[in-house]
Structure 1
Amino acid sequence: MAVGVIGGAKPRYFSIVRWGDAELTLAQVKRKLRVEKWILSLTWIAGISVSLAAAMYIVLQ
């Protein structure tokens, strides 16, 4: 059995054998998805920042 959590662009599915055997609560799954979203955003920001810093370094030399 799989439990789908819809949040954002696409649904994410977490596999469980039976509902009583679930290792994560719904609140924990939502928190995990929120953390993943923030990490993705921070990765984009860091990548753009490094690219801009490298471009400025090349231009100012």
Structure 2
Amino acid sequence: MTNISRRTFIKTGAFAAAGLTIVPGHVLGRSFGFTAPSDKLNIAGIGVGGMGRRNLANISTENI
């Protein structure tokens, strides 16, 4: 096993992270209709009445 310096480790990790953010969505499976759980946003409303309830109903159909 080779010793790797902290600087080399950080540099390699930064390049890997940057590469994942540059990769197009279709490569990661987004074009097949699959949405990762981390790409979804769950919204809840507590104590909303009237207008707030209507707003929650309206955004429930959106892909947020």
TM-score normalised by structure 2 residue count: 0.35
Higher CA-based Rg: 2
More strand per residue: 1 or 2?
1
